Structure 1
């Protein structure tokens, strides 16, 4: 090997190592930093585990205590109900019947016949005369009146006759009554007080429907201007 080859080998050799960029103090600080990080992770894990344990314990306490609370509440409710039941009066007339109506309240409103004041009659379908109220006519007339009336309070009314179906109601200011006469039967009814208004139309069956409005003492005939309207509304039904 000549001198030129030796020079080439030496020039190809690596240069001297560079100066280190960190010192021993840097290594110590990084080691401490990693140690602190590991400690923090361990502390966080332990805290999370403790929270989970506490949560399960609380859930077990609540779920285990709820049935007892419900049972106690139920027992209190039953006890209160028993006390309330025992506080009721023992007189049977003061308590409703088990399977029916209370004796103090009849199942149907009483309906008076001709043995009373003669103003309220029994309800019957297709009834004629002045002793009974025609139920169908009473229901129809009640539906036309501007004021609420009870069908059970209907009376034959002043328009009734032995051949007609009739119904009437007491209204503010007097009475409104209707009478339906069969085809071929003349319209005949008793005389009415002064100021009485009347309306008469032909029914769908060829008969006659009469409406009268009888005023109370010192009043004008109630709904006198609406009698024709009521009569035309009722006529197609009879």
Structure 2
């Protein structure tokens, strides 16, 4: 190999590496900077989690429960919402029928008065016979009698019959009872004790209202002087 070839080889060889643009101190500073940056990210993440936990705790204190309890409360309240099949106040199943127990007229009122055997009649609107008390007549008669008389104390009364609407009340000294007979039906009821005061008045529907004041043994008929007035006041309502 001659001198010319050697010179060509040397000229084709790569040049020397350039001098570094940074020092060891630069590397150390960058490493510290990256470490601090990672530490700050970790600290920020932990702080965010802590804020979320504290926020849920404060919500539970203010609302008096946890989100789970609110969900449970909603679930428990759900049956109260009216659905297509739920019973409404106007549904027929909620309305008392004739012969059924009514909140205004319980099926078994206090055992007093009656037909002499201690029985009282069931309260029902428009009821006839001696087994049931007519609720409308009981309310009307209770409004006429002095004192604190309520429809729940009503009994069929001494003027009842199988075709008449009737209601009566035990009062001091005996019993006051009324019966409404339909138009064209004769007034037939059991005989009354001596001293009974009776009044008969035509009703607005063409029937007859009979009102009796039946005395207890050895007593005068209660409200004897007001029997006619009671009957005249009641008859136009029926």
Could you state the TM-score of these two structures normalised by the residue count of structure 1?
A: 0.52
Match of 2:108 in 1: 111
State the 1:118 CA deviation: 4.5
Match of 1:233 in 2: 233
Gaps of 5+ in 1: 1-106
Matches within 5 A, 1:90-101: none
3-state DSSP of counterpart to 2:201? strand
State the 1:147 CA deviation: 1.9
3-state DSSP of counterpart to 1:200? strand
3-state DSSP of counterpart to 1:176? strand
3-state DSSP of counterpart to 1:231? helix
8 Å CA contact 2:107, 2:123 repeated in 1? no
Inter-partner Cα distance in structure 2 for 1:126 and 1:170: 21
Match of 2:193 in 1: 193
Inter-partner Cα distance in structure 2 for 1:137 and 1:206: 16
Distance 1:199 1:118, change over 3 A: same
Match of 1:179 in 2: 179
Extract structure 1 runs of 4+ deviating beyond 3 A.
107-110, 116-119
Aligned residues: 131
Inter-partner Cα distance in structure 1 for 2:153 and 2:201: 25
Inter-partner Cα distance in structure 1 for 2:232 and 2:225: 13
State the 1:216 CA deviation: 0.6
Match of 1:153 in 2: 153
3-state DSSP of counterpart to 2:108? coil
Inter-partner Cα distance in structure 2 for 1:171 and 1:211: 14
Q: Residue 129 in 1 paired to residue 132 in 2?
A: no
Match of 1:143 in 2: 143
Distance 1:200 1:120, change over 3 A: same
Could you state the TM-score of these two structures normalised by the residue count of structure 2?
A: 0.52
Match of 1:221 in 2: 221
Inter-partner Cα distance in structure 2 for 1:197 and 1:119: 23
State the 1:217 CA deviation: 1.1
State the 1:149 CA deviation: 1.1
Inter-partner Cα distance in structure 2 for 1:144 and 1:184: 27
Deviations 1:49-92 (A, max 9, x none): xxxxxxxxxxxxxxxxxxxxxxxxxxxxxxxxxxxxxxxxxxxx
8 Å CA contact 2:200, 2:208 repeated in 1? yes
State the 1:110 CA deviation: 6.4
State the 1:117 CA deviation: 3.9
Inter-partner Cα distance in structure 2 for 1:160 and 1:119: 14
Inter-partner Cα distance in structure 1 for 2:230 and 2:131: 24
Inter-partner Cα distance in structure 2 for 1:119 and 1:227: 25
8 Å CA contact 1:147, 1:171 repeated in 2? no
State the 1:138 CA deviation: 0.1
Gaps of 5+ in 2: 1-102
8 Å CA contact 1:129, 1:165 repeated in 2? yes
3-state DSSP of counterpart to 2:155? coil
